[in-house]
Structure 1
Amino acid sequence: MKAFKATTARFAAILALITVVSGCSTGKNSEPSTQPSASTEAGSSQQPDNGRFEKRVKFSATSVDLSDDGNYMNDAIFQTLNDKFNFAYDLIPLSWDNWVERDRIWVNSGDMPDMMFWNFDFKDYMNFSKQGLIKPLPTDYETRYPNLASAMSKTGLADYLKSLDPEGRVYMVPNVIYNTPVTETTDLVLDAKVLYYRKDWAQKVGITVGDTITAEQISELGRAFVEKDPGGNGAGRTVGISSQPYQLYSAFVQTHNSFYNQFYKKEDGKYVWGGNEDSTFEGVKSFASYFEQGFIDKDYYTFKGKEHYDKFDTGISGMFIDGASAANVNERNQAFAKANPDINPADAIGLATVVGPDGKFHGQQNILNYWAGEIFKPDLNDETFDRILSILDYVASPEGQRLIFAGIEGKDYKMEGDKLVITREKDEQGNFKYMGDLYPSYYFFYTKVVLPDDWSARDPSLPDNIRNAAVNMFKVKEKIAELVPPDYDVLFLSAPNKDKFNVLIDDAITQLIMGKKDLTVSWSEWKKSVEPKVSAVLKEINGALAK
């Protein structure tokens, strides 16, 4: 899975590890101060499914982005769901510290909450399911919970896990990133990275940029920014492009080899490592030559966070590489506008897809259409389990997504025919208020089943020009990309050498670029130094998977 505070980048990067307040009894919620109506408690005709939810249930659950002192059962989003499903929950906050190890301990100790937000790990999943440490979904979940099943199917992961189980069972609900693809011809998730550039500067230096741009064209634009100084920074102060190493390498190295940093299967059925291939080194040499030209930020290798954003927003840098979900584009435009109140970001910021010398898009491969998910306590009773899955099924429906991300009809939005028009409160800057500030329970539901990336691609609270520009980048890419379905077999293969493989090619490229040796010599020496590790992994992969 950005106009949301916990950004899509956080989800897509799957930032590490979370600490939970220990023990399921630490949830800070209490029963709502306004209890369900008598008719709800009694299971009157207002209850769906002929009284199926007549009995009130309560369950414990963990989630990110919760506070210890938050009350998540008093707002209108929760009350709407409560009116339908008659439930209460104890929510246990997770922090972004050591979530992986804490969850593993929780599961293995048998002390996990009823529903746990979990950073999927294939090896753990197989162990947990085989040992009966987590509860499988009902065998008929696809017919009982059709919206949930549809979203799970879109992840690709659910069907893959089902194929591995002798009885065809699934032991988790994976959260889908794009439930409704933003592309027109494929359901595959495309790498969201694009070039953000100063469109107004490009006009000043007389260069027109289209929907796509090559590395050579980036260099032309970058050199013009440095030499002609359209931002008026003064001689030697303007930077052509400024980004973190992995972002720059996506534009200058990956455009020569889509799999430069992965093990992947060739047409002959054998697996290879992209770092070994000549095309990868061609990309490295290309980057080195561009770096020597001086338009790439000389300090790029030191960047760990948002330095490139700051340089762009303050008019020092004219380009950067970043993800282009609609929410992220909006966030970048808002940040630019705040730093430049006299410049309209719509006039100043352009987007372009970086393509290789062959004119094709070579984005990151094996991008999976899910992040994290929900697992369930093995002895969770079936009635409570049905209630949880029914809630998740509703959350995955179009009506449920409108509730979570648009709010209450008549208050936060209205329908004009098929068009959803946002009417919720605005802040002092004239932007629609963040849903979590209006409805605390949003912080629980917005990361369940369907991640917010999906809504952001169609979010009517975002300006049309921003949303359309972001979606257009995906449509441009799909037409010029060689699309390859994710290779779950190699991604999830667990083997001794593969599991401990620690060769980070981006770090190696940085070290070699900054080194004083001849690049051809140093690249050859580096490949030779990592060859034993690479060969050991390839032997395992080809032994298990090659045809």
Structure 2
Amino acid sequence: MKKMLTLLVAVALLMSLASGLTVAAADEAATELEPMTISVGHWDIENNLPEGYTADPILQTVMDKFNVTFTAMNVGWGDYRDKYNVWAASNTMPDISGGIDIVGSGTYIAWVDDGVVQPLPDDLSAYPNVAKYMDLPEVQAYRKNDHNYFFPRMTYEDPSYWCMDRGLLIRKDWLDNLGLEMPTNAEELLEVMRAFTEDDPDGSGQADTIGFAYNDVFPTSQQIACFGYTDNRWVKMEDGNWKQPVYEEVTLPLIDFLRTAYKNGWMDQDFASRASGDCQELFAAGRIGILAKQNSPKHIKTIYDLWVVAQPDVNFFDAVAIVPLEGEDCYQFQEMSYWSETYVPSSVDAAKLERIMMIMDYLYSDEGVMLTSYGFEGEDYEFDENGNIVSLLPLNEESGKQMLLSDKYTTAGFLASLAAWNGDMLQYQDPTIPQEIRDMCQTEYERRSSTWQYPNLDWEVAALDLQEKLDMSASVSSWSTIIADTSDTPTEELYQNLLAEWNSQGYEACWQAVTAAATELGK
């Protein structure tokens, strides 16, 4: 993250020193390009580009630079897969088909094999910013027919920061109220869950607190990291087979832990029916003591923003901390350096493909990231004496919070997430996130990345194109039935019944096929 900031500072300085020359060169280049209209599909893009929109200065800068006009083809978070399937079947996909996450799936394979999408150029010498991401092993792993077919939507420049996308937030003031130490292992965590439920940690005199709850992401996905690697990526197990640990016996200690917490009432009793976001609101309102939630700055800021409204008299930073789990069984959450992709349909001709390549290369560039993330230097942001970015945007009169860039520039928002999730990549430097949150997260990142174990992930194995993967229908959420089982039946016995169900849904055939294919690769 520091490397990224250093690069951005250098680019901003060069942009400032040579602004006149840059603008002149851009204008000259744009006049050499034929005007072109490019349709863009992206999540909620209609909010940025409504019919008859007037471009804001950021969007106009990009459109002028490449002599293009953008039109919107909207997808929502609930319908994007369905819409893209309809567009693909009717040959009406957007010229830039962003807002889709299909890589490695049956849809991805079909789109490539059926010619729905076209390969990107093999020669990327004219697009150095595209090239540096195409060379990533987790992108190369999904090449088909010796070609790349998508632009990765980058999440982290350094993927080790994924370790902060899972974890536990805790009410440290409740620990103080009860005279408890910060928990660092499973045994201590369970005792704190009990105390936060039964011992009136908020001093209300009422049984109105929940010891533990999770928000959105299922607990097996490294939320409680001290039980080893229990996630759903393919790893080589001790028996030499490639399996998904979340379906294996190695996950039973975690499930038994959660089952104990649920049976005793120390875990949210409504976890299976909660809507997305419910528990973070309850945590912010002072109802939950330990919350499983992404521990990265922008996600903790979401809690902070809810908190200052719900509990304005309780200082967030005096009350909340990240649980620093310790031990040799602590494993990091890890993922590819990108999440989701952008495609170019086969209906796009060579001239338009070249223009799209130019646009994406710019959005990947440091200059493009600075513009679409922070606006114009001297007007929207500046650097302090330590090189930190300082926002110059005014306070929002209604909320009292600092105005967001999207409040000022209403049509350019999609540019900050079309090539990369700029908000994720830059969140450790984002001046709109309180410094205390960023420092808290950076300190914990440094501890985790140096002391927690890294899972044995292999992107080439993850990318294996196998029919058995497509046929498998087993679901991780089935663990909920065991967690909520309050009988005296041993967890191991309940698991064996569930494993038989998963195997009937294709899991056993899938891991056997993956193991055979991985062995052929020498894995």
TM-score between both structures, scaled by the size of structure 1:
0.81
Deviations 1:80-121 (A, max 9, x none): 223322221112221223322321332343322221113233
Q: What pairs with 1:432-443 in structure 2 (closer than 5 Å)?
A: 432-443=402-413
Instruction: Tell me the residue number matched to 2:3.
Output: none
Instruction: Tell me the residue number matched to 1:523.
Output: 495
1:394 and 2:362 aligned: yes
Give the aligned residue type for 2:73. I
Alpha-carbon distance between aligned partners in 1 of 2:315 and 2:164, rounded to the nearest angstrom: 28
Identity, in percent, stands at: 22
Alpha-carbon distance between aligned partners in 2 of 1:193 and 1:258, rounded to the nearest angstrom: 12
Correspondence for 1:450 among 417, 420, 427: 420
**In the superposition, relative to structure 1, how do residues 525 and 512 fare at CA in structure 2: closer, same or farther (>3 Å)?**
farther
Instruction: Tell me the residue number matched to 2:41.
Output: 62
Give the aligned residue type for 1:145. Y
**In the superposition, relative to structure 1, how do residues 133 and 484 fare at CA in structure 2: closer, same or farther (>3 Å)?**
same
1:179 and 2:148 aligned: no
Instruction: Tell me the residue number matched to 2:5.
Output: none
Correspondence for 1:125 among 91, 94, 108: 108
Alpha-carbon distance between aligned partners in 1 of 2:258 and 2:402, rounded to the nearest angstrom: 41
Q: Is the 8 A contact 1:47 1:54 kept in 2?
A: no
**In the superposition, relative to structure 1, how do residues 131 and 340 fare at CA in structure 2: closer, same or farther (>3 Å)?**
same
1:311 and 2:282 aligned: yes
Instruction: Tell me the residue number matched to 1:76.
Output: 57
Q: Mean alpha-carbon deviation: is it higher for 48-57 or for 345-354?
A: 48-57
Alpha-carbon distance between aligned partners in 1 of 2:384 and 2:287, rounded to the nearest angstrom: 44
* CA displacement at 1:499 relative to structure 2: 1.8
Alpha-carbon distance between aligned partners in 2 of 1:121 and 1:214, rounded to the nearest angstrom: 36
Equivalent position SS for 2:413: helix
Instruction: Tell me the residue number matched to 2:379.
Output: 411
Instruction: Tell me the residue number matched to 1:503.
Output: 474
**In the superposition, relative to structure 1, how do residues 371 and 530 fare at CA in structure 2: closer, same or farther (>3 Å)?**
closer
Deviations 1:386-426 (A, max 9, x none): 22222222221222111111112222112345332110122
* CA displacement at 1:251 relative to structure 2: 6.4
**In the superposition, relative to structure 1, how do residues 544 and 408 fare at CA in structure 2: closer, same or farther (>3 Å)?**
same
Give the aligned residue type for 2:46. S
Q: Is the 8 A contact 1:254 1:280 kept in 2?
A: no
* CA displacement at 1:71 relative to structure 2: 5.1
Equivalent position SS for 2:348: coil
Instruction: Tell me the residue number matched to 1:362.
Output: 331
Alpha-carbon distance between aligned partners in 2 of 1:473 and 1:346, rounded to the nearest angstrom: 15
Instruction: Tell me the residue number matched to 1:165.
Output: 145
1:381 and 2:354 aligned: no
Q: Mean alpha-carbon deviation: is it higher for 492-501 or for 470-479?
A: 492-501
Instruction: Tell me the residue number matched to 2:90.
Output: 109
Q: Mean alpha-carbon deviation: is it higher for 410-419 or for 190-199?
A: 410-419
**In the superposition, relative to structure 1, how do residues 483 and 363 fare at CA in structure 2: closer, same or farther (>3 Å)?**
closer
**In the superposition, relative to structure 1, how do residues 107 and 52 fare at CA in structure 2: closer, same or farther (>3 Å)?**
farther
Q: What pairs with 1:158-237 in structure 2 (closer than 5 Å)?
A: 158-162=139-143, 164-166=144-146, 169-181=147-159, 183=161, 189-190=162-163, 192-209=165-182, 213-237=184-208
Equivalent position SS for 1:88: strand
Alpha-carbon distance between aligned partners in 2 of 1:479 and 1:496, rounded to the nearest angstrom: 38
Q: Mean alpha-carbon deviation: is it higher for 435-444 or for 343-352?
A: 435-444
Give the aligned residue type for 2:318. D
Instruction: Tell me the residue number matched to 2:322.
Output: 351
Q: What pairs with 1:274-313 in structure 2 (closer than 5 Å)?
A: 274=245, 277-313=248-284
Instruction: Tell me the residue number matched to 2:117.
Output: 134
**In the superposition, relative to structure 1, how do residues 506 and 232 fare at CA in structure 2: closer, same or farther (>3 Å)?**
same
Deviations 1:128-149 (A, max 9, x none): 33443322222222x2111222
Deviations 1:241-291 (A, max 9, x none): 222585444568763241354543225642235356443223222332333
Equivalent position SS for 1:476: helix
Q: Mean alpha-carbon deviation: is it higher for 283-292 or for 322-331?
A: 283-292
Correspondence for 1:270 among 232, 241, 245: 241
Deviations 1:33-57 (A, max 9, x none): xxxxxxxxxxx95446766744322
* CA displacement at 1:201 relative to structure 2: 1.5
Instruction: Tell me the residue number matched to 2:400.
Output: 430
* CA displacement at 1:513 relative to structure 2: 3.6
Give the aligned residue type for 1:147. N
Q: Is the 8 A contact 1:56 1:87 kept in 2?
A: yes
**In the superposition, relative to structure 1, how do residues 262 and 67 fare at CA in structure 2: closer, same or farther (>3 Å)?**
closer
Q: Which runs of 5+ in 1 are unaligned?
A: 1-43, 184-188
* CA displacement at 1:339 relative to structure 2: 0.3
Q: Is the 8 A contact 1:174 1:373 kept in 2?
A: yes
**In the superposition, relative to structure 1, how do residues 363 and 50 fare at CA in structure 2: closer, same or farther (>3 Å)?**
closer
TM-score between both structures, scaled by the size of structure 2:
0.84
Correspondence for 2:508 among 535, 539, 543: 535
Q: Is the 8 A contact 1:352 1:473 kept in 2?
A: no
**In the superposition, relative to structure 1, how do residues 301 and 466 fare at CA in structure 2: closer, same or farther (>3 Å)?**
same
**In the superposition, relative to structure 1, how do residues 80 and 116 fare at CA in structure 2: closer, same or farther (>3 Å)?**
same
Alpha-carbon distance between aligned partners in 1 of 2:222 and 2:178, rounded to the nearest angstrom: 22
Alpha-carbon distance between aligned partners in 2 of 1:371 and 1:485, rounded to the nearest angstrom: 19
Q: Is the 8 A contact 2:173 2:319 kept in 1?
A: yes
Alpha-carbon distance between aligned partners in 1 of 2:302 and 2:391, rounded to the nearest angstrom: 18
Instruction: Tell me the residue number matched to 2:131.
Output: 149
Q: Is the 8 A contact 2:196 2:209 kept in 1?
A: yes
* CA displacement at 1:444 relative to structure 2: 1.8
Equivalent position SS for 1:92: strand
**In the superposition, relative to structure 1, how do residues 511 and 45 fare at CA in structure 2: closer, same or farther (>3 Å)?**
closer
Alpha-carbon distance between aligned partners in 1 of 2:237 and 2:46, rounded to the nearest angstrom: 48
Q: Is the 8 A contact 1:120 1:371 kept in 2?
A: no
Equivalent position SS for 1:514: coil
* CA displacement at 1:345 relative to structure 2: 0.9
Give the aligned residue type for 2:352. T
* CA displacement at 1:65 relative to structure 2: 1.7
Q: Mean alpha-carbon deviation: is it higher for 289-298 or for 198-207?
A: 289-298
Q: Is the 8 A contact 2:88 2:116 kept in 1?
A: yes
* CA displacement at 1:74 relative to structure 2: 1.9
* CA displacement at 1:515 relative to structure 2: 4.7
Equivalent position SS for 1:59: strand
Equivalent position SS for 2:156: coil
Alpha-carbon distance between aligned partners in 2 of 1:276 and 1:126, rounded to the nearest angstrom: 25
Q: Which runs of 5+ in 2 are unaligned?
A: 1-22
Give the aligned residue type for 2:129. N
How many residue pairs match? The answer is 490
1:336 and 2:315 aligned: no
| Aligned alpha-carbon RMSD (Å) | 2.9
Q: Is the 8 A contact 1:136 1:170 kept in 2?
A: yes
Alpha-carbon distance between aligned partners in 1 of 2:244 and 2:169, rounded to the nearest angstrom: 30
Q: Is the 8 A contact 1:412 1:425 kept in 2?
A: no
